[in-house]
Amino acid sequence: MTGRAVAATRTCCVWCPDWPVVAHRRRTPALVGVPVVVRERVGARDVVRAASAEARAEGVRRGMRRREAEARCPAAVVVDADPALEARAFEAVARAVERITPRVVLDRPGRCSFPTRGPSRYFGGDDALAARVRAGVSAVLGGAGDVRVGIADGVFAAALAARRDAVVPPGGSAAFLAPWPVAVLFGDDDGGGDGRAQLLVRLGLRTVGDVAALSRGAVVARFGAPGEGFHRLARGEDAGPPVLVTPPPDLVEHVVLDPPAARVDVAAFAAKGLADRLLARLSARGLACTRVVVEAETEHGERLARCWRHDGALTPAALAERVRWQLDGWLAAAGGPRGEGAEGVDDTTGGLTGLRLVPDEVVPAGGRQLGFWGGDQAARDRADRVLARVQGMLGPEAVVTAVVQGGRTPAEQVRWVPWGEPREPERPPAAGTPVPGGAEAPGWPGALPPPYPARVFVPPVAAQLLDAAGRPVTVGGRGEQSAAPATLRSAVLPGGGGPVRAWAGPWAHDVRWWDPRARRRRALWQVVVATAAAGDVACLVAVERGAAGVEALYD
């Protein structure tokens, strides 16, 4: 089997346009019929990930800044992107397609494909198959979204055929592709602005047909191995290199989960190690993986399997992300409200007892992109390995990394993220904080100025802040203090505290004043205490609801 050449496989592609919007509409039916914009953060930018047809009619486009999208379509409901929700919702679609054919391959939430040879003959031709798939998926979506089905030779042509909702006759892929702009060879969806696409246009190659008309040798001479890849696509052949290697059977990675994992994060943590091991063993053999089957077994003996495909070789992060999405889909079906999946499809009934990753399609590794400094990559791998080991010893939440975000107090301005998870702030970072890219964010009124305390207590340690007469210091409705602080006592200070030598403040915070249930009022002072044991010690004291506490220590 090794080294066989593959002709373009006749493929059916099922595409749900604007899937992020559809996923949100399935969860929140109130969003059906109103313009919806799904936003995501890309670096420091807040951009549109997807927009509903109503919003697009007003001029909202993917990749546009959120502010501009809101200006063009003020009526739009803006929701946060949630990849886990998208993957979970797409599981229902995948199951609907799976009732027609067992060989479903997921490209990403919103698009899946399968080879048509068997099902097409069974259901009486490509058109009948397409109609059947369309009906099955539409029933699941129930008006929340649109579905398009395309059939053509090759995965790439089928994906484009799905955009037109067309069935391309056998052998007609090259002719079907010819009029498309070259950008589709590189872009996933809109094919926006890829540098290579612009280069081809500058060279006078405007359509896919222009590229296909060139000789392969000429393209490879100019663009190297990537050139061969897009030239194959342009001619309607499969993107993959012509040589596929049969996956060696002993490369299957599995792990037994005892006790069974009922929570996604527990299973995903195990899956991350599994993904790393699988790819490490593949790369030791000079192989890269482009398609992987995620298999799981539940405590009631059910076996679940789903195949994920990736354009180009899977990286450990991309593989772990896909496995996490898949686990999300399975476990949410078990724990969440029934009916989120399709009717008549069995949901998962228990925790997962085992996980397997099976490389379904491997290709010779075409060289890995290392960091500019090779040693840097080696150091990162070494650090990742030991930190994963410590996570194994103490639990995934024990190893964390800090993300600076907006807020008023030192505790609010930091979000702790378990090591290995995406480092994203919950709130936009404030101006002036030591974080790159935060310069355009507005400041937080009342935020405490630097220096920043090196010890932050969450929750604050109980303390007594007294004035010269020995009464507790309080704050009035306008943020003015009842008297100057004179004594601070707390167990966290050396010697239990002492007289106040100097103070600054108070900073009065009225947190979430617009929400009567979450509203909090507090006042903070920077206080220098003269202690008998350690001399002058500076700390941050908060008074909330009449009780004082040490929030932080300048250590």
Partner 1 sequence: MAGAEGRGPAGAGPVVRDLAARVRPAVAAGARALRVTGPLAGLVPGGGIRRGATVAVDGPPGTGVTTAALALAAAATAAGEWAAVVDPPGTLGALAAAAAGVDLDRCAVVRHVPADRWPAVVAALLDGVALVAASVPPRLRPGDARRLVARARERAAVLVVTGPWPVEAAVRLHTEAGAWARTASGLLHARGLHARVEVHGTPAPVRLHAAAG
Binding site for partner 1 (CB under 8 A): 373, 376, 379-380, 382-387, 389-390, 393-394, 397-404, 410, 413-414, 416, 419, 423, 433-435, 449-458, 492-494, 501-504, 526, 528, 531, 533-539, 552-555
Q: Which is nearer to partner 1, 143 or 494 (CB)?
A: 494
Q: How far is the CB of 385 from partner 1 (least distance, A)?
A: 6
- Between 169 and 494, whose beta carbon lies closer to partner 1? 494
Least distance (Å) from partner 1 to the CB of residue 442? 18
Query: CB of residue 84 vs partner 1: minimum separation in angstroms?
Result: 24
Determine whether 95 is exposed, middle or buried from the number of CB atoms within 10 Å of its CB (0-12, 13-18, 19+).
Answer: buried
Give me the least distance between CB of 203 and partner 1, in Å please: 39
Residue 437 Cβ, how far from partner 1 at the closest point, in Å?
Answer: 13
Nearest-angstrom CA–CA distance, 298 and 267: 12
Q: Which residues contact 167 (CB under 8 A, 6 or more apart)?
A: 126, 127, 130, 150, 151, 152, 161
Between 57 and 394, whose beta carbon lies closer to partner 1?
Answer: 394
Of 3 and 459, which CB lies nearer to partner 1 in the complex structure?
459
Token digits for 290?
Answer: 């482009």
CA–CA separation, 214 and 369 (whole Å): 29
CB closer to partner 1, 75 vs 379: 379
Pairing of strands 105-108, 303-309: parallel
Of 401 and 482, nearer to partner 1 (C-beta) is: 401
- SS (HEC) of 194-211: CHHHHHHHHCCCCEHHHH
Three-state secondary-structure class, residue 118: helix
Return d(Cα 28, Cα 251) in angstroms, integer: 42
Cα separation, 11 vs 105, in Å, equals: 11
Q: Which two tokens stand for residue 125?
A: 């031709």
Give, in order, the Cα–Cα distances in Å from 370 to each of 305, 364, 366, 380: 32, 17, 12, 11
CB of 525 to partner 1, least distance (A): 10
Q: Given the complex with partner 1, which of 19 and 457 has the nearer CB atom?
A: 457
State the nearest-atom distance from the C-beta of 64 to partner 1, in Å.
28
Q: What's the closest the beta carbon of residue 261 comes to partner 1, in angstroms? A: 21
**CB of 172 or CB of 418, closer to partner 1:** 418
- Coil, strand or helix at 471: coil
CB of 312 to partner 1, least distance (A): 25
CA distances from 20 to 111, 192, 232, 321, 426 (A): 12, 19, 31, 17, 20
Neighbour tally for 139: CB within 10 Å? 12
Nearer to partner 1 by Cβ, of 7 and 280: the residue is: 280
- Nearest Cα neighbor of 261 from 330, 316, 340, 339 is 330
What is the amino acid identity at position 423? R
Q: Give φ, ψ of 447 to 5 degrees.
A: -70, 145
Q: Which is nearer to partner 1, 104 or 542 (CB)?
A: 542
Nearer CB in complex with partner 1: 218/379: 379
How many angstroms separate the CA atoms of 528 and 487, rounded?
10
Least Å distance between CB 422 and partner 1?
12
Give the C-alpha separation, 525 to 511, whole Å: 16
Q: How far apart are CA 354 and CA 346, in angstroms?
A: 19
CB of 375 to partner 1, least distance (A): 8
Minimum distance, C-beta of residue 388 to partner 1, in the bound complex (Å): 9
Which residue in 146, 174, 151 sits closest to 161, CA to CA? 151
In this complex, which beta carbon is closest to partner 1, that of residue 13 or of residue 493?
493
